[in-house]
Amino acid sequence: MNKAPAKTFSRLVLWEIENCLNLATISLIVASAIIAVLIQSATYQGLFNSYIPLYHGTNIIFLILTLVVGTLFSHSFAGSFGNGELKRLLSYPVKRWQVFLSKVISLNLIIFSVYASAYALNFYLNPISLVEPLFYMSLFAMFLQLLFVCSVSVGISMLTKNELISIIASFLLFLGLDNAFGIYSVFSSDGRFRYIFGYFEQITHPGHSMVSPRVPITFEQFTNSILFPLLVATVVLVTIFIYFTRKMEVD
């Protein structure tokens, strides 16, 4: 059995991780994650004395996460066109699918690990139990947002092949969706998180719901909030993967 493709792919993943761990990039990710969590806690800690800060602070975290993800994925994909990195990389005996997947997997792994670690500060900053299910459900919603922003940012990067345009276009697109649809739609990050968080709040804290005290959140709203980002991410990433590996020309 030929182990060369697997070995090459693992090296590409490690190379991408090493690039992300340079001082400027890792500082951006860590600082943004810690600042987002601290702002969340400082804003709501004095008003609530339970798991509720997990819910009320996520709009800040999602906003910063979206900006960071759009910036890093645009830099990794669109930036690699501008500086000639992609052309040099493909001159070596590597497959295009290896390059594409190594970038997507490495960046998602690093960003989610850092943000999940920073989010765990809630155990210290707020009186939240280590077995609080809504903490882990919040992480799941954060991962869905990361995957959603990742796919769209990669798609825009492949179309524009310009780092700055891709960053601006990605951020404005997500900001526009959130402002246009609000907290009662699965098309906005706040809406999806509200339905995911609120549905599990009803199950784990019956009779004490603060997200949806009057109108219960339905299972359909909950599943749609999960399916929408997953389907968009899957369709976009598969489409871009096919384009990247079979059709795209690297000048």
Nearest residue to 248 (alpha-carbon basis) of 77, 17, 62, 132 = 77
- Helical residues (DSSP H) of 58-162, grouped into ranges: 58-82, 85-90, 96-119, 122-125, 133-160
Q: Which residue has the higher pLDDT, 128 or 159?
A: 159
pLDDT at 47: 45
Give the number of other Cβ atoms within 10 Å of residue 9's Cβ.
Answer: 18
pLDDT at 86: 81
H or E element, residue 212: none
Q: Return mean pLDDT, the chain.
A: 85
Vertex 15 angle, CA 14 and 16, to 5°: 90
* Token representation of residue 161: 């092949």
- Angstrom distance (rounded) from CA 202 to CA 211: 9
- Angstrom distance (rounded) from CA 25 to CA 27: 5
Tens digits of residue pLDDT in 39-86: 876 655 444 446 777 777 677 888 899 999 999 999 888 888 877 788
> Percent of the chain at pLDDT above 70?
90
Give the number of other Cβ atoms within 10 Å of residue 167's Cβ.
Answer: 23
**pTM higher than 0.75, yes or no?**
yes
The Cα-based distances of 14 to 8, 18, 99, 175, 209 in angstroms read: 10, 6, 12, 32, 44
- Angstrom distance (rounded) from CA 38 to CA 57: 9
pLDDT at 50: 65
Domain chopping of the chain, boundaries: 4-247
Confidence class of residue 6 from pLDDT cuts 50, 70 and 90? confident
- Angstrom distance (rounded) from CA 87 to CA 82: 10
Residue 1 has pLDDT above 50, yes or no: no
Q: Which residue has the higher pLDDT, 59 or 226?
A: 226
Residue with tokens 């009803």: 202
